Amino acid sequence: MNATKLCCLIAAGTFSASMEMAAQTATAAARFLEQASWGPTSASVSEVQKIGFEKWMENQMDPTLTPPSAFPPVAVDAKGNTSLRPVQNAFFSNAAAGPDQLRQRVAFALAQIWVVSNVKLKAEAIPPYLRLLQGDAFATYDKIMYDVTLSPAMGHYLDMVNNDKPSATHGANENYAREILQLFTIGLNQLDASGNVVIDPKTKLPIPTYSQDVIEGFARTFTGWTYAPMKGATSKFTNPPNWDAPMVAFDAHHDTSPKLLLNNQTISNGGAGVAAKDLHDALANIFADANMAPFISRQLIQHLVTSSPSDTYVKNVAAVFSQSQGDMKAIVKAILLDPEARQGDDPSAAPISGHLREPVLFINALLRGLGATVAATNSLTDVGSLLGQPIYYPPTVFNYFAPGYSVNLPNGANPPTSVNAPEFQLLSESTAMQRADFVNSVAFGKVGGVTVDLTSYITLLGTKPTTSSMGQMVDALNMALLDGRMTSDMRSSILDAVMNAATPKAMAETAVYLIGSSWPYQVER
């Protein structure tokens, strides 16, 4: 079937298992799971082969079948100081063994769009925010907008909390108004249905999506909200921080004058509940903007499948976004079942999608592929930081890396050919070495709180390894880590290195190191 028909079927909820794209081979299942989970395991590959892509996703989306992974409370020392470390540890242990793999991946993608950071927040603010994104991962995008807007973590991070109506001495804070438009919903410039910037034929410049007057309109719309009162406390404007409940409105501190929003719409509510009415109308105004579907669809594709999706891919998913009214279940299905995402499932077909594994995906996929056990206390947060991605500490509201970051291809073209590759913003000489060092520690040494058992691969070699048994061992690792896509030249080079290792254990360790540190592994295709 053609891509347009597929998207319509997904959006309408009529896409059936009998229509699902063919052949759940082990390679196809593993490749799908690289996009839909933190990495394939032998058990998850078998499950997808048995029930198919769509049924697996439906099971993952049903919280009664697959409950969300839990996060522990923050640590508190004897002096009352708090630490996020138990929550960071849980991120990696959940990724390694949590059953809710698709929910985890989608929630993390949303967290990289709707960014908050412990750089500014208190540690206690992070777990409730993570639970919010987990709960909304398969809701509608307008619900995500509403819930995050009233999240105390976001309110504190981008200054909507205690944002008072303008007076003679101060104006409304514009921080959240700017970022919800620029980063979380529609972007700076008008886009076509495929997510390409629209150029004004007269000025030859991009057409902006909003003006400063619109920013001021939204800033005044977002006035009058404060933290929810603590249990048993009297609520007042500028309540002390309460991270466990949505913010509450005080109409007396809300600007009630007319406000200019997107597309020349003006809101002017009054009466009791005016702050809540204005908020509802403002978010509906944003959600109705034509930029929403392609802008968000492209970013979700980037986080799950490929850094540089084609125009057709973005257009397909954006159509589902619009037709389904932002239903994340339909959107995620459209992303993962699109022909461009599935093109490389046949080993004979060259995939055109892919991306550099960002550090936490690189860490988690390697450990899952090797069947590692990750303890509740582990050192993987430190590894992520060394690789350029300190979990829950993105440096700015623009995330760890910008979705528009590009690199020039070494093809000698003048001017250079540029390709969108956001994750490469974290790659440097230093972090490239740290990636190799991490794989070395996994293969030959020890990573705190992580247990890797290579016995099954060592057993394949036997007590007296032969060329044949070494090949079997390399082939098994090829399937576990590369979905069976190792080239003959790569296999030959690894076998040469394995033959020079002194013991069966060293042979398996050598093969793991060479595969895990290779570019064919680090660049997911």
- Same domain assignment for residues 50 and 124: yes
Note the Cα 239 to chain centre separation in Å.
Answer: 33
Q: What is the C-alpha separation between 28 and 22, in angstroms, rounded?
A: 9
Contact, 201 vs 290, CB < 8 A? no
Average pLDDT over all residues of the chain? 94
Alpha helices in 137-235 (DSSP H): 141-149, 152-157, 175-182, 212-221
Q: Which two tokens stand for residue 14?
A: 């009529």
Q: Determine the pLDDT at residue 166.
A: 96
Q: Which residue type, as a one-letter code, is found at position 403?
A: P
Q: Any idea how long the chain is?
A: 525
Domain boundary among 279, 301, 336: 279
193-205 residue pLDDT tens:
999 999 999 999 9
Domain boundary among 236, 253, 279: 279
78-126 residue pLDDT tens:
888 999 999 999 999 999 999 999 999 999 999 999 999 999 999 999 9
- Same domain assignment for residues 431 and 492: yes
Residue of 418 and 62 predicted with greater confidence = 62
Backbone angles phi, psi at 82, to 5 degrees: -105, 155
Q: What is the C-alpha separation between 55 and 270, in angstroms, rounded?
A: 48
Q: Determine the pLDDT at residue 8.
A: 55
Q: Report the number of distinct structural domains present in the chain.
A: 3
- Same domain assignment for residues 271 and 299: no
Asked if the structure places residue 284 within a domain, the reply is no
Q: Determine the pLDDT at residue 351.
A: 67
| Residue 197, strand partner residues | 191
- Same domain assignment for residues 408 and 515: yes
Expressed in percent and rounded to 5, the helix, strand and coil fractions of the chain are 50, 5, 40
Asked if the structure places residue 490 within a domain, the reply is yes
- Same domain assignment for residues 161 and 197: yes
Asked if the structure places residue 285 within a domain, the reply is no
Contact, 521 vs 482, CB < 8 A? yes
- Same domain assignment for residues 367 and 416: yes
- Same domain assignment for residues 514 and 378: yes
In the DSSP assignment, the letter for residue 327 is B
- Same domain assignment for residues 131 and 172: no
Contact, 38 vs 359, CB < 8 A? no
Residue of 21 and 520 predicted with greater confidence = 520
SS (H, E, C) 123-138: HHHHHHHHHHHHHHCC
Quick one: which H or E segment has residue 269?
A: none
Distances 184 to 188, 292, 315, 358, 364 between C-alpha atoms, Å: 11, 9, 19, 21, 26
Which range marks the domain in which residue 202 is found? Answer: 157-279
- Same domain assignment for residues 329 and 393: no
Asked if the structure places residue 151 within a domain, the reply is no
Asked if the structure places residue 144 within a domain, the reply is no
- Same domain assignment for residues 449 and 501: yes
Q: What is the C-alpha separation between 51 and 62, in angstroms, rounded?
A: 15
Asked if the structure places residue 298 within a domain, the reply is yes
Q: Determine the pLDDT at residue 391.
A: 98
150-186 residue pLDDT tens:
999 999 999 999 999 999 999 999 999 999 999 999 9
Contact, 351 vs 305, CB < 8 A? no
> Does 472 have pLDDT greater than 70?
yes
Domain boundary among 279, 305, 328: 279
pLDDT band at 31 (very low <50, low <70, confident <90, very high): very high
Q: Which two tokens stand for residue 459?
A: 């057993």
Contact, 136 vs 96, CB < 8 A? no
Asked if the structure places residue 95 within a domain, the reply is yes
Q: Determine the pLDDT at residue 458.
A: 98
Which contacts (CB < 8 Å, 24+ apart) does range 451-454 have? 451/372, 451/373, 451/375, 452/367, 452/370, 452/371, 452/372, 453/371, 453/372, 454/370, 454/505, 454/508, 454/509, 454/512
SS (H, E, C) 223-246: CCEECCCCCCCCCCCCCCCCCCCC
pTM of the full structure? 0.94
Cis peptide bond N-terminal to 410, omega within 30: no
Q: Determine the pLDDT at residue 349.
A: 72
- Same domain assignment for residues 257 and 305: no
- Same domain assignment for residues 395 and 327: no
pLDDT band at 21 (very low <50, low <70, confident <90, very high): very low
Asked if the structure places residue 145 within a domain, the reply is no
In the DSSP assignment, the letter for residue 266 is E
Q: What is the C-alpha separation between 155 and 416, in angstroms, rounded?
A: 42
Give SS3 for 101. helix
252-288 residue pLDDT tens:
999 999 999 999 999 999 999 999 999 999 999 999 9
| Residue 140, strand partner residues | 327
User: DSSP string of 87-103?
Assistant: HHHHHHHHHHH-S-HHH
CA atoms within 13 A on the CB side of 471: 5
Average pLDDT over residues 126-143: 98
